[in-house]
Amino acid sequence: MKQIEFEGIQLSSLGFGCTQLSANFSRKAAVGNLETAFNNGITHFDTARAYGFGMAESIMAPFIKGKRDKISITSKIGILPKAIPVKNLFILNILRAGLNISSAVRRSAIAHTGGANQEVLFSESTARLSLEASLKALNTDYLDILLLHESSVDYANKEETIGFLQQLVKTGKIRAFGIATQYKKLPQDLRLLNSAYKILQFESNPLDVSALQHLQERFTILHSVFRNLEAISQLLAQNKALSDTLSERAGVDLSTKQALSECFLRYAAFKNPDGLTLITSRHNQRIRENIHTWNHSRISTAQIPEIFNMIREALPKQ
């Protein structure tokens, strides 16, 4: 797998997002996802204090043991995990399935993150406690990358915020920092975001022609690569002429979801060639397939702009 270097940090070009670890029915199965990714070439792992009701980081700890010098880790501060009494993954996922519980309890059980009073959650004292909790849960002394989770640009630009993060770098708690947010929340002119933030993490969206215009200005991490895959799959199923034309352009039968997902991965590689792309799944076979596709795609990146332009034009106008 292609390796990239940023600020002295060695990263695999494809990383593994840990949002779905708690969707496994056991911690052993969750660690199996991490081992599958690692054994197939992924060395970067992305998590957050909020993921898995605060359990994702502790699930990662036994996997990290003995590998810390071989992997890189991103975590995030700013959104605290929803407090729930259930810590057993089997019971948690039974609750998620909605078996024998009231709808009110189920709504609480399936929530992924807690409240979102960003100013309170991003206070220095809360941020420091959150970071220390992450380091303890992960059983590591440092993070390679720390991201402000859904921070506003105004908050990120505060001198005290930047000073706090720079001090964390100076003391060795983190090696680099940036912002993880939605693309639409970023300023179109990235000069409005302090240059201290060298990393941006946001969703990949091949249906938004205006998105991803400024990737060359910061180190970029893309997630949610398969966003809109289901909608486009349905479009092609209903429009055989379009499906056949796109398949001819790609040189692959795009009527199958597996082949179509290859296009989505190639889009991320095309738009973010010098950055990092995240995948996630709780299914080991899917993890292996996505990594193999990333390394050995049958679709040329040169075909990607035309393929998605045709898809955009065929979509119903809003």
pLDDT higher than 90, residue 87 = no
pLDDT higher than 60, residue 95 = yes
Instruction: At 233, give phi and psi (nearest 5°).
Output: -60, -45
Q: What is the mean pLDDT of the chain?
A: 87
Report the range of poorest mean pLDDT among 18-27, 83-92, 147-156, 241-250: 83-92
Q: Is 240 exposed, middle or buried (0-12, 13-18, 19+ CB in 10 A)?
A: exposed
Amino acid at 22: S
Amino acid at 246: L
Residue 178 has what pLDDT? Answer: 96
pLDDT higher than 90, residue 175 = yes
Q: Are 183 and 220 in contact (CB under 8 A)?
A: no
Domain range annotation of the chain: 11-203, 227-318
What is the model's pTM? 0.89
pLDDT per position as a tens digit, 259-271: 999 999 999 999 8
Mean pLDDT score, 11-36: 95
pLDDT higher than 90, residue 210 = no
pLDDT per position as a tens digit, 155-171: 899 999 999 999 999 99
| Alpha carbon distance, N-terminus to C-terminus of the chain | 39
- 11-203 has which fold? TIM Barrel (3.20.20)
Q: Do you know the residue count of the chain?
A: 318
Q: What DSSP state is assigned to residue 2?
A: -
Q: Are 184 and 147 in contact (CB under 8 A)?
A: no
